[in-house]
Structure 1
Amino acid sequence: MPHCRSPFIAACFATISALIAAPSATRAAVSDAAQSVSLDQATIGKVIGGIAVKLREDYVFPDKGVQAADALERALAENAYAGVTDPGKFAVQLTEQLRAITQDSHMRVIFGSPFRNQPPPSVPQDAGFEVKRLEGNIGYIHLARFVPPDVFNPAADDTMRNLSDTAALIIDMRDNGGGHPASVAYLASFFIDPSRRVHINDLIWRNRGTLTFRTESFWSSPTPTRYLGKPVYVLVGPKTYSAGEEFAYDLQVLKRVTVVGEKTRGGANPGGLNDLGSDLFVVVPIGRAENPITHSNWGGVGVSPDVRATSEAAQETAVTLAMQRRKS
């Protein structure tokens, strides 16, 4: 079972983000699997102990990590988990407890490995670009995830080359659940003047078991084409999460796009998947995003759109804005 650490964490985290946003059918399958497994108190104690270690050694906010670890251990000592036998319900209970303390939506306990049904490495990975042209020569890109750069970048090159002659561009992040920050920076680069290198985002990582941190910086990079001098609209909504939010936030701060839709979910703290045994896993964020301009991020508050519209009406609203701009 892989344990994900920076700088390779995001490929793993994309899978975890997909599980967080999993449809009800997937959650039901996990629930069905849980019915065939029963927890005992010794296993529960081992799981709580494993989570507490990760919280104290890894969590990007050390004080909250200690607070959360103490709370779980106190609950265990007070027999708060007595009678708990269903691992799926136990995972949900722990997730709710951890999020209540940390206010961090990336914090999660999972029953059943999210990697179990992943395709083998030999199967080519799809970058996930869905592209079309709308009426009025408006380009449209739907992107549900940011896969690693080796797959993402060539697909982004082809997509942007095919849409380079459009009058305006809509990038639909309403279903984007996250992924690789380097791929976010690469896609953002198409909309940034190449005359100077632009600092797009930082990830601040905690050094495990210490109170020290390191910074991983992401900058604009050369791309085969650029999309400049024309309006770009990014669609967002309640399902937009993590790296999907970062893309909208970074370009909004740079005043390069107009963000349209509803406020996003508010997850800015990436973390790796840790095996606790008994098919239980915990995601403990070990990093946090920090924008070089705002020195903050969208964590806990989401990205606020420039133009508010329901998720269902966001695309139509963006098309209307693009057509109005052409007439002005």
Structure 2
Amino acid sequence: MATPDNTEIINSALDHIVAGYVFPQRAAEADRALRARLAAGEYDALSGAALCEAVTEHLQEACPDKHLRLLWQDEPQPLTAPADDGAGRAAFLALMRAENHGIHRTEQLDGNIGYLDVRCITDAGAGAHAIGAAMELVARTRALLLDLRKCRGGAPTGAAMWCSYFLPDDEVHLNDLYERSTDSTRQYWTLPYLPAPRYLDRPVYVLTSATTFSGGEDVAYTLQAHGRAEVVGETTRGGAHPTARHPVTEHITVTVPTAMSVNSVTGTNWEGVGVQPDRAVPAEKALGTAHEEARERWGQR
């Protein structure tokens, strides 16, 4: 089988974007901009990862969306996309199980301050017991530091479950998710049942960095919007749109945002602007800053 040339690669990627991107008008604008660059020969000398980087940069210039990307994988991937999302979901759940459902560390810090280092937002169904076990371990602390500085994404259902632990019941409307392909909106509310006690009437600090992304931003943004947490650290990366992945070649995948999150409090989301911290400090100082304040204000002496 002949290797696709750059014209075929970019045409295929743009076809997926036009067909699936959550904002059709913006997709059309990006399509025109990239085809003009292609016709001008801007990609003729590029290949592999360099091509993907250039196309991604130009896509995001035409349509500012951090999830809109052309990705290079060194290892060849299957060219045939699954008939449904079952295979992708199975792969995601297998990864979550291998990574302890994103829960990297649980600790009781000085002053009886709880600490959770969460690096991915797992699926609510598969990860409920792991999230519950972590929350059980910090249930009797006087304040909690939720560290999302290395959290780069995950599942909306898991974000809703994490947020549910910090809100009082199942009557809090968190956000809505609009899906272009079905022209439908799914509402996310706090959950009525959780495997561990809710963490109420005590302060929560969410730690962020410039690499906190997607599902991690969802948790930070939602808790901040509901006045339930203080965000300490850096402005996050700014990706609010769930995506679909489409193979273009054995080494290239295009990611296409197919849905849009709308927060019930703000009426918008963090796309392109990130979650703005209440206390802006360098990411490497966020833990120390939040712990010192929590220990002085709320900790056991």
TM-score tier by shorter-chain length is 0.7 to 0.9
Counterpart selection for 1:110 from 63, 71, 80: 71
Matched, 1:220 2:181: no
Q: So what's the TM-score if we normalise by structure 1?
A: 0.80
Cα offset, 1:91, TM superposition: 0.8
Please tell me whether the aligned partners of residues 52 and 70 of structure 1 are also in contact (alpha carbons under 8 angstroms).
no
For structure 2, which runs of at least 5 residues remain unmatched after alignment?
78-90
Counterpart CA distance in 2 for 1:122 and 1:300 is 27
1:188 matched to which residue of 2?
Answer: 163
Which secondary structure does the structure 2 equivalent of 1:166 belong to?
coil
Q: Does 153-162 or 107-116 show the bigger shift?
A: 107-116
What is the SS of the residue equivalent to 1:161? helix
Deviations 1:71-103 (A, max 9, x none): 22222222222233x211111111111011111
Give % identity: 32
Q: Is the 8 A contact 1:241 1:265 kept in 2?
A: yes
Counterpart of 1:14? none
Corresponding position: 1:206 with 2:158: no
Amino acid at match of 2:168: D
SS state of the match for residue 259, structure 1?
A: strand
**Among 115, 121, 125, the residue aligned to 1:146:** 121
Gaps of 5+ in 1: 1-38
Q: Give the SS at the match of 1:277.
A: coil
Tell me the CA shift for residue 164 of structure 1: 0.7
- Relative distance call for 1:267 and 1:115 in structure 2 (3 A) is farther
Residues 51 and 69, structure 1, Cα contact 8 Å, conserved in 2: no
Label 1:202 to 1:315 Cα distance change in 2 as closer, same or farther (>3 A). Answer: same
Could you list the structure 1 runs, at least 4 aligned residues long, displaced by more than 4 angstroms after superposition: 113-116, 118-124
How far is 1:258 from its partner? 1.0
Tell me what 1:49 maps to: 11
DSSP-derived class of the 2:114 partner: strand
Q: Compute the displacement of 1:139 (Å).
A: 0.5
Aligned-partner Cα distance in 2 for 1:114–1:175: 24
**TM-superposed deviation, 1:192:** 0.6
What's the offset of the Cα at 1:115? 9.3
Q: Take 1:292 and 1:115, find their aligned partners in 2: how far apart are those partners?
A: 41
Residue-pair matches, total: 282
Q: What is the deviation of 1:272?
A: 1.1
What SS does the corresponding residue of 2:101 show, helix, strand or coil?
coil
Q: TM-score, normalised by structure 2?
A: 0.87
Contact kept, 8 Å, 1:113 with 1:280, in 2: the verdict is no
Q: What SS class does the counterpart of residue 248 from structure 2 fall into? A: strand
1:193 to 1:121, Cα distance in 2 relative to 1, 3 A: closer
The structure 1 residue matched to 2:257, chosen from 285, 289, 297, is: 285
What letter is aligned with 1:147? T
Aligned residues of 2:221 and 2:275 also touching (Cα < 8 A): yes
- 1:286 Cα deviation from its structure 2 partner: 0.9
Structure 2: how far apart are the matches of 1:170 and 1:110?
33
- Please provide the CA RMSD for this pair: 2.4
Within a 5 Å distance, the mapping from 1:155-304 to structure 2 comes to 155-194=130-169, 196-207=170-181, 213-221=183-191, 222-223=193-194, 224-304=196-276
1:18-29 aligned within 5 A: none
Structure 1 residue 45: Cα displacement: 1.6
1:83 aligns with 2:45: yes
Instruction: Tell me by how many angstroms 1:325 deviates.
Output: 2.1
